[in-house]
């Protein structure tokens, strides 16, 4: 009996200890839960982005990424400023070759063929599954989708997008007797106005001829009945077309014959600075600089669609979101969620207001935020309205090489190292050499 009593007592003690230990474990687990412990680490996304205009764009994008992470604590977006578009392209290509590509990036929409040739990006259509998804994609302006889709698939989502517009100094117009509410509508009117506006210390017009000179030349060819510099397959260019010859000759004559623009080349960043300092009365530049001009100009200014020859015309420009193949399916899905978040109508509207870039979605212009802004500042509509005359920006296979050929050609002409036709014939020959391997 005594032995049995000892066994019962031992079993009872064991049960008490076990219960106490279980209670401690439950308490610790409960305490951990109440403290917010989450054993699952958030998905981390590396996000590359460029900046090509004035203003605090890096701060805006960094803040947007931080706000997204705050709203989605299971996804941490790490934004990385990667310099200009060209520098971003180089960094991304180097990272791809080293198998260390970012999870997503904003890159030139014109980088599309090069990224496809590297088999580096995923098509966005795999994320389009519902009617709401389809409506989302259809809401982007068609002009911006021309550099975002090929092979019947969508590879990029428009975000940091633009067109070229004409900026003009209204005070300078009044000074020389021009109507400040009537900017030039044709090449002829632009030359006439520029002559009146030109004086000591001020040019009538400036068009940048470094970095994106090919983009500016496209305006002149497109205004000749919509003739572009390339085909839609990215494997053929028309650098020595009659339209390119006439456009480049007109550009050269603005300085050499009409004497309304500086000779030689003008740097991309110099042009808006000259405009703000009153050194030029008109300029061709991206709408992405609109907010910077609005905040910095000490004079009344206006914006207008680019003057026409046979018709109006401008190439679209700027960057798209891309998602990279090296990322896991889980990260790709998280990247898509971030892109959808960044491109809601309200955020696209605010992005346009903060930077001057065109709001890429139609619904953005229906938001109360954008309606109020446009009421106070109607020039925000210039680039949007010009989209009806817009065409694809120069985009080909080996796009970096092909665009450099045209950049060098334009600069050789403007510095009078080569006559227009010879320079364009040489450019055509060099570009054909690059693109021939991609022709079917």
Residue 24 has pLDDT above 50, yes or no: no
pLDDT at 240: 98
pLDDT tier for residue 335 given thresholds of 50, 70 and 90: very high
Name which residue leads in pLDDT, 28 or 236: 236
So what's the pLDDT on residue 54? 59
For 89-101, the pLDDT digits (tens) are 999 999 999 999 9
Q: Which residues pair with 160 in a beta bridge?
A: 319
Give the pLDDT confidence score for residue 23 in this predicted structure. 44
Asked if pLDDT for residue 14 goes beyond 70, the answer is: no
Q: How confident is the model at residue 349 (pLDDT cuts 50, 70, 90)?
A: very high
Averaged pLDDT, 152-177: 97
CB atoms < 10 A from the CB of 386, how many? 24
Does the pLDDT value for residue 88 go beyond 70?
Answer: yes
286 pairs with which residues across the strands?
A: 164
How far apart CA 77 and CA 46 sit, in angstroms, is 6
The CB-side HSE value for 35 (13 A sphere, CA atoms) comes to 8
Confidence of residue 51 (pLDDT cuts 50, 70, 90): confident
Question: What mean pLDDT do residues 54-58 have?
Answer: 75
Domain boundaries, the chain: 43-161+317-391, 163-314+399-438
Per residue in 253-312, pLDDT (tens digit) is 999 999 999 999 999 999 999 999 999 999 999 998 999 999 999 999 999 999 999 999
**Mean per-residue pLDDT, 322-343:** 98
Q: What local confidence, expressed as pLDDT, does residue 31 receive?
A: 35
CATH code that applies to domain 43-161+317-391: 3.40.190.10
Q: Could you tell me the pLDDT band of residue 39, with boundaries at 50, 70 and 90?
A: low
Residue 53 has a pLDDT of: 65
**What's residue 42's pLDDT?**
93
Q: Mean pLDDT over residues 351-375, rounded? A: 96
**Which segment of 83-87, 119-123, 134-138, 275-279 scores lowest on mean pLDDT?**
83-87
Of the chain, the percentage scoring pLDDT greater than 70 comes to: 90
Average pLDDT value for residue range 355-359? 93
Mean pLDDT of the chain: 91
pLDDT bracket for residue 55 (50, 70, 90): low
pLDDT of 425 reads 98
For residue 17, the model assigns a pLDDT of 37
Q: What's residue 316's pLDDT?
A: 97
Higher pLDDT among residues 424 and 40, named by residue: 424
Least confident piece of the model among 44-53, 168-177, 343-352, 402-411? 44-53
What is the model's pLDDT at position 16? 40
| 4-18, 295-309, 345-359, 391-405: segment of lowest average pLDDT | 4-18
Percent with pLDDT over 90 in the chain = 87
Domain 163-314+399-438, CATH: 3.40.190.10
pLDDT at 56: 78
Give the residue-averaged pLDDT of 166-184. Answer: 98
């Amino acid at each position: 009996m005594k032995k049995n009593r000892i066994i019962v007592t031992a079993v009872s003690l064991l049960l008490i200890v076990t219960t106490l230990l279980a209670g401690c474990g439950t308490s610790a687990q409960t305490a951990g839960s109440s403290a917010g412990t989450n054993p699952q680490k958030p998905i981390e996304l590396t996000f590359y982005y460029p900046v090509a205009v004035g203003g605090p764009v890096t701060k805006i994008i960094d803040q947007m990424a931080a706000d997204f992470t705050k709203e989605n604590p299971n996804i941490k977006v790490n934004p990385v400023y990667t310099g200009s578009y060209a520098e971003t392209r180089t960094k991304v290509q180097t990272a791809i070759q080293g198998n260390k590509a970012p999870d997503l990036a904003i890159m030139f929409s014109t980088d599309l063929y090069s990224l496809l040739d590297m088999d580096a990006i995923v098509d966005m259509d795999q994320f389009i599954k519902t009617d709401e998804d389809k409506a989302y994609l259809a809401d982007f302006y068609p002009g911006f989708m021309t550099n975002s889709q090929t092979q019947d698939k969508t590879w990029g989502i428009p975000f940091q997008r633009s067109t070229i517009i004409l900026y003009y100094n209204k005070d300078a117009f009044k000074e020389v007797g021009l109507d400040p509410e009537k900017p030039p509508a044709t090449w002829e009117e632009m030359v006439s106005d520029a002559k009146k506006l030109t004086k000591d210390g001020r040019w009538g017009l400036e068009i940048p001829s470094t970095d994106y000179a090919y983009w500016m030349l496209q305006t002149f060819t497109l205004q000749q009945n919509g003739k572009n510099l390339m085909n839609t397959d990215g494997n053929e260019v028309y650098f020595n077309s009659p339209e390119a010859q006439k456009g480049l000759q007109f550009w050269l004559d603005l300085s050499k014959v009409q004497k309304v623009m500086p000779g030689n080349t003008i740097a991309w960043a110099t042009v808006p600075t000259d405009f703000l300092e009153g050194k030029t009365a008109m300029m061709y530049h991206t709408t992405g600089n609109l907010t910077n001009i609005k905040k910095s100009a000490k004079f009344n200014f206006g914006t207008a669609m680019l003057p026409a020859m046979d018709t109006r015309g401008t190439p679209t420009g700027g960057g798209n979101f891309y998602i990279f193949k090296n990322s896991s399916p889980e990260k790709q899905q998280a990247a898509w969620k971030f892109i959808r978040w960044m491109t809601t109508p309200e955020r696209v509207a605010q992005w346009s207001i903060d930077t001057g870039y065109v709001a890429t979605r139609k619904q953005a212009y229906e938001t109360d935020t954008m309606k109020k802004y446009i009421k106070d500042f109607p020039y925000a509509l210039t680039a949007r309205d010009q989209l009806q005359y817009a065409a694809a920006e120069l985009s080909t296979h080996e796009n970096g090489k092909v665009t450099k050929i045209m950049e060098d050609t334009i600069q050789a002409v403007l510095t009078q190292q080569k006559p227009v036709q010879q320079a364009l014939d040489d450019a055509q020959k060099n570009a054909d050499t690059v693109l021939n391997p991609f022709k079917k």
